[in-house]
Structure 1
Amino acid sequence: MAESESNRPIEIEPTCAADDHGITEDQLLRLEDCHRAAAMFSALGDPNRLRLLGLLIGREMCVTEISSILNDNLPAVSQRLKLLRSERIVSHRREGKHVFYRLDDEHVVALIRNALEHAGHE
């Protein structure tokens, strides 16, 4: 029985080869950096953590303030901050028995602002 046109495998010729682009090894992203960035994006992938980070744009706040403003319980806020600290998204300082948190650096501020701005863009 003859093979019909629709059952015949389509032959596709490659349009380019990997070496056509002239990409050198040092132009590739380091896998370790990609893993760290992915972990950071994972930490940012929670709406409650993003709301918390939004509070910290341009200011430093203690856990109690954050908890009160977000109307959330203190242990939950502390756990979120612990995770965000582990990914170097927030940093902290202790003053007596109060711990104050802030966004770690301008890269993080820009990342949060860009993500929130992009999310609100129609």
Structure 2
Amino acid sequence: MLDESCDSHEHRPVAELLVDLSPLALEKAARLFRALGDEARLSLLVRLAEREACVSEIAESTGEGASTISQRLRLLRGEGLVKRRREGKHLYYSLVDEHIQNLLANAIDHSQEPRRS
């Protein structure tokens, strides 16, 4: 479950964002899209949108190795898409905030729309 809200700031229209667009902001956005651009990482994010999970739970449910899952989570965490919390020996991962959940939902919704010519 997400514990952060967008209520702390306003969302600006895209046209306003483009006026203040810095090269650093573009670079960060491009890195975010590269991280999302891998089907396995995207699938992992969708799984974490449903609920937080530890590496062993994810590995067991996907049939992949824990080291593979850990590597993906490390990249996603480095790009600010997931966060972790420790409980005993386990690290539990979840989406960092509602922005990421909305981004995933929009991307999946858009991918299921009929193509327009």
Match of 1:92, SS state, is strand
Q: Give the percent of matched residue pairs that are identical in Structure 1 and Structure 2.
A: 44
Q: Distance in 2 between matches of 1:68 and 1:121?
A: 32
Runs of 4+ in 1 over 2 A off after TM superposition: none
Structure 1, unaligned stretches of length 5 or more?
1-22
Code of the residue aligned with 1:92 in structure 2: it is R
The match for 1:79 among 71, 74, 79 is 71
Q: Distance in 2 between matches of 1:58 and 1:51?
A: 11
> Given the two structures, how large is their TM-score scaled by the length of structure 1?
0.76
**1:58: how far off?**
3.4
Q: Which residue of 1 aligns with 2:22?
A: 30
1:115 aligns with 2:107: yes
1:10-66 per-position Cα deviation (integer Å, ceiling 9, x unaligned): xxxxxxxxxxxxx9xx81411111100100100111000011111111311111111
Q: Cα RMSD (Å) of the superposition?
A: 1.8
- Higher relative CO (Cα under 8 Å, sequence separation at least 6) belongs to 2
Maintained 8 Å contact 1:90/1:101: yes
Code of the residue aligned with 1:80 in structure 2: it is R
